[in-house]
Chain A
Amino acid sequence: MAANTGSSRVAIPSFGGKGKLWIGLLVALMAAGIAAWGYQLTTGLIATGMRNVFSWGLYIMMFVLFVGLSAGGLIISSAPKFFHSHRYEGFARLGVLVSLACIIVAGLLILPDIGRPGRIYQFFTSPDFRSPMVWDFGIVLLYGLLNLWYLWLLTRRDLAARGSSLALGFEDTEAGRERDRTLMFWTAAVALPTAVALHSVTGWIFATQVGRGDWFSPLVAPVFIAKALVSGLGLLLIVSVLADRYTNFEVDREELTSLGKILGIFLAFHVVYLLAAERLPHSWADHFEFWAIMSNFLIGDSVYFWLWTVVGGAVPLAMLALPPLRKRVSVIFTASVLAVVGTMFEGIRLVFTGYEVANIDSAPGISLGGEYTGITTDIWATAGAYTPTLVEIAVTLGIIAFGAFIVTLGLKYVPIQRVDAEPSYATDGGKQDQ
């Protein structure tokens, strides 16, 4: 289309009516989020549904989700580069853009959760290196910068060719391409272990805690990796299908189907294998008869469990496995949405399993530090209960809208697609097919 220069193009040359509406919606959500956060800053975290027994809520649940979501793009774009393959080249830039947006959302979600955000600098002035939160802070920061660098590295030659100021004075030269090729390989080589570390460390925030029920399990970190693969790839597929539909970004159908298949494999590994590995020992130990063990193993007990294993696991897995279905874009899209929703509920469930039951629950219990809005006027509780308030929901939506805004701007200003399907570091300047 219009913005087609040389070998690359941006997905959104200019915003049309619908585009402006979309931007308007995002800006409105962000404004509402800022207002809600302002309100929360003046009243304190009493404006949230969190209390002394249930002291982490929606912000942390969504932090966990978005850390996971940030995995897909970076892995899909760096894994092939690492193995010198050109597979999924069409998704590389969009993938890194989505990863970057997600990790920014994750990082921002921590801010409203902090009681005194003005003191965050203490992470630098007085860190305790025993704390998994310090490790996570470091790795989230590193991961964000890595994504930013990678996106720029992937696109700077095209940015330069387009005369964009985002090239930061970089020039597209023959020698430069050669160097970029090496840089990309090394970036990919760093990105993969960083991604693994990011998800493991985020898992260890929970997995190291002896006082919160199921959190204390060595399986949490591997499960976080699996969740990240499932939800991250799911989100990348969702965004690419949407971008294909609403912008000039074009998805290679064959690659899309192939990624859909990979999503199916991730889902099978996560939901079928890891879940079984997690559940079987407990079912076996808690029950005596063969059928009692089996039914406890196969049939979960909570709504969350069903929401994520069946709706977020079994159903999308079936959709992606059945040959007549799995090639349809609509099927891949729906399965991806379900996978992301399933992962979200799994994260929510994890936080609930930690706080729902108090280790010492004798009456009168634990002082809440404020009544549970609308539920009780008592300051005592012997178990945790949590419902997010409108303030929390507004702040969270505002931050997510900011992430969507970043992706939208990326589609507008960063050449997200190479038009010539040529591998970016083979014989450059090859055939021009558009």
Chain B
Amino acid sequence: MTKHGLVIDQERCIGCQACAVSCKQENNVPMGQFWNRVLTEGGEKMDTPSGGYPEDGGSGSLDMQYQPTACQHCENAPCVKVCPVNATYTRDDGIVEIDYDKCIGCRYCMAACPYNARVFNWDEPEHMPEEGTGDVEARPQGVVEKCTFCSHRVDEGLDPACVVNCPADARIFGDLDDESSTVSKYIDKYETDQLLEDRGTDPNTYYISGEMSPGRPQTSDKMESELDDVSPWSDGDDDVPSKEADSAGGESSGSSHSVEGGEIPYATPAKSGGDD
């Protein structure tokens, strides 16, 4: 079985909002709505830290982190369980999706989602430019919509738009059921959290904080599983990263930061994979 999941490395995230914007473009998200938001954990306002400056007797405790937040694709998704008409459902590959033809717009799912990941089309959705953007059909007034893990791209073997467009390689998409996938390895190796873990929703989105990971291992817009001929994890014999693999570093992950060799996937050359 496949279970798609997302790992977001908060140590890598630079708060550039590229994922939020590419999500909006790719999915034709109406004006006034966001499926994906980059939140600032820290001060009161966006891009402001909490704490004080380390000068004039200040506490020197400035602290800030970015938390990109979209639908967490929960395993025990309350939104799926509350939907009276089966409009919100979990696909076999773990993606939580909405059938917009079924949705009656009761918004029970918005009450159910602890992450406020869902938005409702309160009026006739407006798009800029008017004919819309991206590859997804616009949703009508009166239905709820949210992040789909870009299922239209995933179905074609492409990583989600926000993943491909993250300039910091802070977003890694893959199959949580496959132990050799980068997402599984990172969850294993790094300190990861799920948001609001105490609610028991068991999200398939994990956040790395503490030690920085080497980030997304390849630069193609294909999914890792589509690249198995050049899988960074496979040295021919098995699926375990080889301990004595050569020196660390991928072109985008060139972190200064020490991670044992072998744990760092090398970047595969960009393959000509395309949107279409």
Report which A residues bind B (CB closer than 8 A): 43-46, 48, 50-53, 55-56, 113-117, 119-120, 122-123, 126-128, 130-134, 137, 205, 208-212, 354, 358-360, 362-371, 379
Q: What is the total number of residues of chain B having a CB less than 8 Å from a CB of chain A?
A: 55
Q: Which of B83-122 contact A (CB under 8 A)?
A: 83-87, 102-108, 110-116, 118-122
The interface residues of chain B lying within 8 Å CB-to-CB of A370 are: 32, 122-123
Stretch from B3-11, B40-48, B217-225 at the A interface: B40-48
CB within 8 A of B32: which of A44, A117, A134, A369?
A369
- The CA-CA distance from A365 to B108 in the complex, in Å, is 20
Q: Is B33 an interface residue (CB 8 A)?
A: yes
A125 and chain B: residue at smallest CB distance: B85
Which 4 interchain pairs have the tightest Cβ spacing? A115-B105, A211-B114, A115-B142, A46-B123
CB within 8 A of A45: which of B34, B82, B122?
B122
Q: Is B141 an interface residue (CB 8 A)?
A: yes
Interface string of B42-56 (1 = CB under 8 A from A): 111110100000000
**Across the interface, do B85 and A362 meet the contact criterion of CB distance under 8 Å?**
no
A379 and chain B: residue at smallest CB distance: B32
Interface string of B135-154 (1 = CB under 8 A from A): 00000111110000000000
**Across the interface, do B120 and A210 meet the contact criterion of CB distance under 8 Å?**
no
Task: Give the distance to chain A from B160, nearest Cβ to Cβ, in Å.
Answer: 19
Q: Is B212 an interface residue (CB 8 A)?
A: no
Task: Give the distance to chain A from B80, nearest Cβ to Cβ, in Å.
Answer: 8
Q: Is B240 an interface residue (CB 8 A)?
A: no
Q: Is B248 an interface residue (CB 8 A)?
A: no
- The CA-CA distance from A363 to B65 in the complex, in Å, is 11
- The CA-CA distance from A106 to B238 in the complex, in Å, is 63
- The CA-CA distance from A52 to B115 in the complex, in Å, is 12
The interface residues of chain B lying within 8 Å CB-to-CB of A205 are: 108
CB within 8 A of B142: which of A45, A120, A360, A379?
A45
CB within 8 A of A115: which of B48, B86, B115, B121?
B121
- The CA-CA distance from A362 to B69 in the complex, in Å, is 10
The interface residues of chain B lying within 8 Å CB-to-CB of A117 are: 104
Q: Is B196 an interface residue (CB 8 A)?
A: yes
**Across the interface, do A368 and B116 meet the contact criterion of CB distance under 8 Å?**
no
Q: Is B81 an interface residue (CB 8 A)?
A: yes
Q: Is B37 an interface residue (CB 8 A)?
A: yes
Q: Is B124 an interface residue (CB 8 A)?
A: yes
23 residue pairs bridging A and B, Cβ less than 8 Å apart? A46-B122, A51-B122, A52-B116, A52-B118, A55-B120, A115-B141, A116-B142, A119-B85, A119-B104, A122-B104, A126-B102, A127-B85, A128-B83, A128-B86, A133-B82, A211-B78, A211-B111, A212-B114, A354-B111, A363-B39, A363-B44, A364-B40, A367-B37
Using A116-B104, A211-B114, A211-B115 as known contacts, list a sample of 11 further A-B pairs with CB atoms less than 8 Å apart, ordered by residue number in A: A44-B124, A45-B123, A45-B142, A51-B122, A115-B141, A128-B81, A137-B84, A211-B78, A362-B42, A370-B122, A370-B123
Q: Is B195 an interface residue (CB 8 A)?
A: yes
- The CA-CA distance from A367 to B43 in the complex, in Å, is 19
Q: Is B201 an interface residue (CB 8 A)?
A: yes
Q: A56-B107, A120-B104 are in contact. Are A367 and B34 (CB under 8 A)?
A: yes
CB within 8 A of B46: which of A50, A208, A363?
A363
- The CA-CA distance from A276 to B40 in the complex, in Å, is 39
- The CA-CA distance from A122 to B88 in the complex, in Å, is 13
Q: A360-B39, A364-B37 are in contact. Are A127 and B84 (CB under 8 A)?
A: yes
**Total contacts A to B, CB within 8 angstroms?**
165
B34, B87, B124, B196 interface centre (most CB from chain A within 10 Å):
B34
Q: Is B192 an interface residue (CB 8 A)?
A: no
Q: Is B257 an interface residue (CB 8 A)?
A: no
Q: Is B200 an interface residue (CB 8 A)?
A: yes
A381 and chain B: residue at smallest CB distance: B116
Q: Is B253 an interface residue (CB 8 A)?
A: no
- The CA-CA distance from A368 to B120 in the complex, in Å, is 9
Task: Give the distance to chain A from B195, nearest Cβ to Cβ, in Å.
Answer: 7
Q: Is B199 an interface residue (CB 8 A)?
A: yes
**Across the interface, do B121 and A210 meet the contact criterion of CB distance under 8 Å?**
no
Q: A122-B85, A210-B199 are in contact. Are A360 and B69 (CB under 8 A)?
A: yes
B200 and chain A: residue at smallest CB distance: A210
Q: A127-B86, A209-B111 are in contact. Are A366 and B102 (CB under 8 A)?
A: no
- The CA-CA distance from A127 to B83 in the complex, in Å, is 9
Task: Give the distance to chain B from A382, nearest Cβ to Cβ, in Å.
Answer: 9
Q: A45-B120, A56-B107, A56-B111 are in contact. Are A366 and B37 (CB under 8 A)?
A: yes
B41, B45, B108 interface centre (most CB from chain A within 10 Å):
B108
**Across the interface, do A362 and B41 meet the contact criterion of CB distance under 8 Å?**
yes
- The CA-CA distance from A358 to B81 in the complex, in Å, is 21
Q: Is B67 an interface residue (CB 8 A)?
A: yes
A113 and chain B: residue at smallest CB distance: B106
The interface residues of chain A lying within 8 Å CB-to-CB of B86 are: 126-128
Q: A210-B200, A354-B111 are in contact. Are A360 and B116 (CB under 8 A)?
A: yes
A115 and chain B: residue at smallest CB distance: B105
A51 and chain B: residue at smallest CB distance: B122
The interface residues of chain A lying within 8 Å CB-to-CB of B45 are: 363-364
Task: Give the distance to chain A from B226, nearest Cβ to Cβ, in Å.
Answer: 32
